[in-house]
Amino acid sequence: MVKKGQLMMFWGSECPHCHVMMPLVERLEREEGVKFEKLEVWHNESNARKMRAIADIIKSACGGVFGTPTFYDPERAAALCGEQPYELLREWAFKGLKTQSRAQRHK
């Protein structure tokens, strides 16, 4: 279950784009206190069902594409898809977290 203020990352263990993004996600967690629930979907059916449950949101945000990596903010029903530069990932993450203070995110 995703905690309030936590983002989700859907990824696949053999996905090369996911492996590029994972260190950027970890950097964002470490440097900014952003929290991600990382859900492997290629080999975990329970996680894949969670991703399929929001397929319409993902496809709408991602030009009809439904793949990995996909980042999802459940509080604002927003998705970001694919391999992205760190600054874009950071900007997207903070759009949903701007109501929280930095101190709250570091708890």
Tell me the mean pLDDT per 10 residues along the chain, length 107: 78 98 97 95 98 97 96 95 97 74 42
Residue 44 located in a structural domain: yes
Give the Cα separation of 34 and 89 in Å (integer): 11
Number of domains into which the chain is organized: 1
Q: For residue 4, what pLDDT is reported?
A: 64
Contact (CB, 8 A) for 12 and 40: yes
Residue 20 located in a structural domain: yes
Q: For residue 101, what pLDDT is reported?
A: 42
DSSP letter assigned to residue 26: H
Q: For residue 98, what pLDDT is reported?
A: 58
DSSP letter assigned to residue 10: E
Q: For residue 3, what pLDDT is reported?
A: 63
Residue 95 located in a structural domain: yes
pTM of the model: 0.86
Q: For residue 39, what pLDDT is reported?
A: 98
* CATH classification of the domain holding 89: 3.40.30.10
Residue 98 located in a structural domain: yes
Residue 91 located in a structural domain: yes
Angle between helices 16-32 and 86-97 (to 10 degrees): 50
Q: How far is CA 6 from the centre of its chain?
A: 9
Domain that holds residue 24: 7-105
Give the Cα separation of 7 and 62 in Å (integer): 17
Residue 41 buriedness (CB in 10 A; 0-12 / 13-18 / 19+) = buried
Give the Cα separation of 87 and 104 in Å (integer): 22
Residue 1 located in a structural domain: no
Q: For residue 104, what pLDDT is reported?
A: 43
Residue 2 located in a structural domain: no
Q: For residue 107, what pLDDT is reported?
A: 42
Residue 50 located in a structural domain: yes
Q: For residue 29, what pLDDT is reported?
A: 95
